[in-house]
Amino acid sequence: MSALPPAVIWHDLECGSYTADLSLWRELADDAPGPLLDVGAGTGRVALDLAARGHDVVALDADDELLAALHTRARAAGASVEAVRADAREMALGRSFALILVPMQTVQLLGGAPGRAAFLACARAHLSPGGLLAIAIADGREAILDEDGVVPEAPRPDVCELDGVVYTSHPLAVVDEGPAVRIERLREIAAPGRRAVVERDVIRLESLSAATLEQEGRMAGLAVRERRAVPETDEHVGSTVVMLGG
């Protein structure tokens, strides 16, 4: 078995290969006149990329195991990334940032409107004057029906092999529950000479439109700037990036 905790392996497998948003985060980071805060940084897909480009990055996540992997990878790469364990809805870091970015729909995991309001208030308190809060959201229902109302092809499973053990994440179902889209995966671990271990993973991605998030941003005292977009790929739906100014 791998020395990596299963949470890290699955996170890397299911999120780590996504690159469609990186050019936008790089552009925003290059324009930011100060440090960056990556909210829900996971194992550092975005934070490590931006740090490697010379940015001063703080990576915040609620998950200790993911942050430990991020920290190890930053050290191995000689990158300076400060990893902070905190709930984004309660963060109090005592410093401010020119850019706060929230990639990959993390804002749709915060517990609905009350959780987002708490996060937006915290984010505002951490923005430098003129700073920018950029939040990616996606409509999970696009994985059920595309814009022409057609059911898209089932995405391929994500597969990796570590120390002879094969980890496979099979997309199983995407179900519109109204307030959220339920995304189900079957995670399979196959080690040589052993029965495969299979477990079901369920994530609920809260339904959220850009207009709603912008209105919530206004209520939190933030100014609404022009939205940006991350294009869809063969494997991933596109995102809208809501831009809120301090």
Q: Facing residues of 131 across strands?
A: none
Q: Which stretch binds ligand SAM (CB under 6 A): 55-63, 187-195, 214-222, 228-236?
A: 55-63
Q: Does 117 bind ligand SAM (CB under 6 A)?
A: no
For residues 217 to 236, the per-residue mask of contacts with ligand SAM, x marking binding by CB under 6 A and - elsewhere, is --------------------
Q: Does 185 bind ligand SAM (CB under 6 A)?
A: no
With CB under 6 A as the contact rule, the residue among 37, 48, 66, 210 that binds ligand SAM is 66
If one counts every other C-beta atom within 10 angstroms of the C-beta of residue 209, the result is: 12
DSSP H helical ranges for 126-202: none
Judged by DSSP in three states, 31 sits in helix
Q: Supply the minimum distance, in Å, between the C-beta of residue 68 and ligand SAM.
A: 12
Compute the Cα dihedral for 98, 104, 110, 112 and give only its sign: positive
Q: Does 103 bind ligand SAM (CB under 6 A)?
A: yes
Q: Which residue is nearest to ligand SAM (CB)?
A: 40
Compute the Cα dihedral for 102, 106, 111, 112 and give only its sign: positive
Q: Does 65 bind ligand SAM (CB under 6 A)?
A: no
**C-alpha 47, offset from chain centre:** 11
Q: Which of residues 9-48 bind ligand SAM (CB under 6 A)?
A: 15, 40-42, 45-46
Residues 116, 121: Cα–Cα separation, whole Å: 9
Q: Which residues bind ligand SAM (CB under 6 A)?
A: 15, 40-42, 45-46, 61-63, 66, 87-89, 103-106, 109-110
